Amino acid sequence: MHDSTEAPTTLEAVAPTRAPDVLLSLSRLSKTFHPRRHAALPVLRGVDLEVRRGEAIAVIGPSGSGKSTALRCINLLERPDSGSIRLDGKPVFEASDTGPAVGPSVRALRDLRRRVGMVFQGFHLFPTMSVLANVTMPQVRSLGRGRADAERRSLELLEKVGLADKANARPQTLSGGQQQRVAIARALALDPEVMLFDEPTSAIDPELRIEVLRVMRGLAEAGMTMIVVTHELQFARQVADRIVFFDAGTVLECGPPEQVLDRPRHERVRHFLTAVSGALGNGD
Ligand SMILES: Nc1ncnc2c1ncn2[C@@H]1O[C@H](COP(=O)(O)OP(=O)(O)OP(=O)(O)O)[C@@H](O)[C@H]1O
* Residue 71 Cα: closest atom of ligand 1: 18
The pLDDT score that the predictor gives to residue 161 is 96
- Statement: residue 241 has pLDDT above 70: yes
Q: Where are the domains of the chain?
A: 21-124+193-280
68 close to ligand 1 (CB < 6 Angstrom): yes
Q: Please tell me the pTM assigned to this model.
A: 0.89
pLDDT in tens, 113-143: 999 999 999 999 999 999 999 999 999 999 9
CA-proximal residue: ligand 1, atom 6 (nearest): 33
pLDDT averaged over every residue in the chain: 90
* Residue 35 Cα: closest atom of ligand 1: 4
pLDDT in tens, 34-51: 988 889 999 999 999 999
Per CATH, domain 21-124+193-280 is 2.130.10.10: no
Q: What is the C-alpha separation between 124 and 192, in angstroms, rounded?
A: 18
**How many angstroms does the Cα of residue 77 sit away from the middle of ligand 1?**
13
Mean pLDDT, range 233-239, rounded to an integer: 95
- Statement: residue 9 has pLDDT above 60: no
63 close to ligand 1 (CB < 6 Angstrom): yes
From the list 229, 259, 230, the residue with the least C-alpha distance to 242 is 259
The pLDDT score that the predictor gives to residue 1 is 58
**How many angstroms does the Cα of residue 68 sit away from the middle of ligand 1?**
7
**How many angstroms does the Cα of residue 276 sit away from the middle of ligand 1?**
19
Mutate to test the pocket of ligand 1, among 29, 31, 36, 41 (most ligand atoms within 8 A of CB): 41
* Residue 229 Cα: closest atom of ligand 1: 22
- Statement: residue 2 has pLDDT above 50: yes
202 close to ligand 1 (CB < 6 Angstrom): no
Sequence-ordered strand ranges (E) for the chain: 22-33, 41-52, 56-60, 82-87, 90-95, 116-119, 194-198, 225-229, 242-247, 250-255
Q: What is the C-alpha separation between 219 and 202, in angstroms, rounded?
A: 19
31 close to ligand 1 (CB < 6 Angstrom): no
- Statement: residue 151 has pLDDT above 60: yes
